[in-house]
Structure 1
Amino acid sequence: MTARITLEGIGKTFGAGETALRALDGVDLAVQPGEVVGIKGPSGSGKSTLLNIVACILEPTDGRLLIDGQTVWDGRYRVADLRRLRRERIGFIFQFHNLLPFLDATDNVALAMTLAGVDAAEARARARGLLDYLQIGRRAAAMPARLSGGEAQRVAIARALANRPSIILADEPTAALDSERARVVMDLLRQVAQDRQTAILVVTHDEKIFDRFDRMVALRDGRIEQDRRRAA
């Protein structure tokens, strides 16, 4: 089975000379289809740097990055259109949902598709289907200000799924939620991973959701300190 995400010896250095900072140092990691992997570690351990490298927002200094078996970075980017790659293969979920306040839930999800060239009517229909799938269809016409934190995060998940990505990257997606809503959101992400064979990589400090991951990877000083699979 081809991994959705493959990092081989990934390193990242910021600056040069005496002020150089080694944020990542020889990281090897593979995330398989259908797998939900958590990344934890203290501040400055390299979590956000790793996520931004997988997102093709930040260039590594060394190593190799593959997405769905395709070499994306190996000394330089090997993909001609990075924006298209991010749009078509990678979905993003953030701590704060970042929904557009002047669009209702349906149009917040549909917008991601129309920007990718999908017909507006088809985009809205698919958006409503995604909201139904995530059990929030009843709020399809609600504006973001009228949504609870958990509801808004479900809409954000629907938006991340809009263009059928093979990878979802999430940065502290439950930090603003209480324990019950955080577990609901993680259970939905696990359902998405299983149903769609999506690889999901989550940066989190949120200990209340650690048991929701297939694997928990701990970073320290830019290196993987531990990679532990959840007990069956």
Structure 2
Amino acid sequence: MEALVEVRALAKHYGEGATRVDALRGLDLDIHAGQVVGLLGPSGSGKSTLLNLVGAIVEPSAGWMRLDGEVVYDGKWTRRDLRRLRLQKIGFIFQFHNLIPFLSVSENIEVVLDLVGKGRAEARQRARELLDYLDVGEHADRRPSQLSGGQAQRVAIARALANRPRIILADEPTAALDSERAGIVMDLLRKVAVEQSAAVIVVTHDEKIFDRFDAMHLLRDGRLMAATA
């Protein structure tokens, strides 16, 4: 399988000297197309830090990183326009859907496509395709406040997929959902990984979804401790 996320000796620290805090320490990791991978560990273990580094939100302190075949960090960012990098390669899903309340469901997806210069008709068609793909097409003209928690999270997934990214980063996407809705969300992420040859990385404490992962990586004190298939 093609490796979509490759990191070598990736590290992140804050501060210097006596105040230095090592959030991530020399981590090596490969995640492949079609995989749904869990990042586990106690609070402060480095899970969210790793997600933020892979998402090009936070700059690493050291190491090397390749995303979807492109080296994007090698001791420094090799891309100047990180916003464009995120729009092209990465989709983000969070614990809370963060949908824009005064836009319709469809418009919440269309706005992402507008950012990359897609025309209105193309953006609307893509939004409808995604909503139908995730079985919430009948809610396209509703406001987020009219959706259930599970429906809103599906819309958030649709938004993350708007620009066809091959790397999906999800931070506690099922924490606010009951077991049934959490299972539905994970099944949808599995569908995306397989059908769109994407790599899905999920930070979670949610034990009810542990059986949904191809592999689980345990982090502790900024180090990768173990992986289970």
- 8 A contact 2:23–2:45 mirrored in 1: yes
Deviations 1:206-231 (A, max 9, x none): 110011111111100101111111xx
- 8 A contact 2:24–2:46 mirrored in 1: yes
Q: Give 2:121's aligned residue.
A: 121
Q: Give 1:198's aligned residue.
A: 198
Q: Give 1:49's aligned residue.
A: 49
Please list every run of at least 4 consecutive aligned residues from structure 1 whose deviation after the TM superposition is greater than 2 angstroms: none
Q: Give 2:19's aligned residue.
A: 19
Q: Give 1:158's aligned residue.
A: 158
Q: For 2:5 and 2:151, how far apart are their aligned partners in 1?
A: 29
Residue identity opposite 1:32 in structure 2 = H
Residue identity opposite 1:135 in structure 2 = D
Give the drift of 1:118.
0.5
Q: For 1:50 and 1:125, how far apart are their aligned partners in 2?
A: 34
Q: For 2:114 and 2:16, how far apart are their aligned partners in 1?
A: 42
Give the drift of 1:190.
0.2
Tell me, what secondary structure is at the counterpart of 2:3?
coil
* 1:172-187 superposed matches below 5 A: 172-187=172-187
- Does residue 1:58 correspond to 2:64, yes or no? no
Q: For 1:129 and 1:121, how far apart are their aligned partners in 2?
A: 12
Give the drift of 1:110.
1.0
Q: Give 2:218's aligned residue.
A: 218
Query: Identity, % of aligned pairs?
Result: 59
TM-score, structure 2 as length reference: 0.98
Q: Give 2:98's aligned residue.
A: 98
Q: How many residues get paired?
A: 229
Flag structure 1 segments of 5+ consecutive residues without an equivalent: none
Give the drift of 1:139.
1.1
Give the drift of 1:80.
2.5
Tell me, what secondary structure is at the counterpart of 1:8?
strand
Deviations 1:137-192 (A, max 9, x none): 11111110000000000000000000000101011000110010000000000000
Give the drift of 1:2.
3.4
Residue identity opposite 1:88 in structure 2 = Q
Q: For 1:223 and 1:144, how far apart are their aligned partners in 2?
A: 39
Tell me, what secondary structure is at the counterpart of 2:63?
strand
- 8 A contact 2:68–2:89 mirrored in 1: no
Q: Give 2:134's aligned residue.
A: 134
Tell me, what secondary structure is at the counterpart of 1:63?
strand
Flag structure 2 segments of 5+ consecutive residues without an equivalent: none
Deviations 1:22-44 (A, max 9, x none): 11111111110111111010001
